[in-house]
């Protein structure tokens, strides 16, 4: 088997793909967000923050509003590796303490399909109550709109996406209830 070919079964299953939501799922998600009174809509927001579609020679930052409770997240990040180190990479910083609470780690990454330089990092962590900044930095080669080799499994997600597992679970429960009501 050619290791540079990503087979669909090798792709990371994502907790949610917003671009593939049904009309019912979108409707319920919007209703949940409109009714959400939590800080930063953290009870209904499926993605806490995201930097995607990263291009060459760029630096990106995204802040959260203060999060007033611990949240379980799934981090899905892509980067480029050169000479055994990330040259396209990201991290999450606690805004108040300036401490890095998570970063892409070459030893915890795996092949992401396409070119051999493509790596992905997946992590389940708990972000404690706080205020966070997501960072991503890329070098001069091999990124969206200028791949110098084959892109990774999901080029759209090149960068970092931080999924809110609790909000996604609640959305899935409400969708299942709505579907069962529609079948009766």
* 11-52: pLDDT as tens digits: 777 888 877 888 888 888 888 888 888 777 788 889 898 988
Taking the domains of the chain in order of start, what are their residue ranges? 46-164
Given a cut of 90, is residue 163 above it in pLDDT?
Answer: yes
pLDDT at 61: 85
pLDDT category of residue 119 using cuts at 50, 70 and 90 = very high
- What's the whole-model pTM score? 0.85
Query: 129: helix, coil or strand?
Result: coil
pLDDT at 10: 63
pLDDT at 7: 42
Half-sphere exposure of 86 (CA within 13 A, CB side): 23
Fold of 46-164: Jelly Rolls (2.60.120)
Q: What sign does the dihedral 133-138-142-146 (CA atoms) show? A: positive
Looking up tokens 């579907």, which residue turns up? 179
Check residue 146 and report its DSSP letter. B
Distances (CA, A) of 92 to 60, 89, 136: 12, 11, 9
């Amino acid at each position: 088997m050619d290791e540079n070919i990503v087979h669909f079964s090798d792709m990371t299953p994502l907790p949610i793909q917003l671009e593939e939501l049904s009309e019912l799922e979108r409707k319920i998600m919007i209703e949940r967000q409109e009714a959400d009174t939590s800080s930063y809509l953290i009870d209904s927001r499926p993605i806490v923050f995201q930097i995607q579609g990263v291009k060459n020679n760029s630096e990106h930052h995204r802040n959260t509003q203060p999060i007033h409770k611990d949240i379980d997240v799934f981090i899905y990040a892509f980067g480029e590796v050169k000479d055994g180190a990330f040259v396209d990479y990201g991290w999450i910083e606690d805004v108040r303490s300036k401490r890095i609470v998570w970063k892409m780690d070459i030893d915890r990454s795996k092949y992401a399909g396409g070119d051999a330089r493509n790596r992905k990092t997946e992590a389940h962590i708990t972000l404690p109550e706080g205020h966070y900044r997501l960072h991503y930095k890329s070098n001069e080669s091999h990124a969206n709109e200028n791949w110098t080799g084959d892109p990774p499994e999901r080029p759209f997600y090149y960068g970092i996406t931080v999924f809110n597992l609790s909000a996604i679970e609640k959305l899935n429960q409400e969708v299942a209830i709505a579907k069962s009501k529609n079948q009766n």
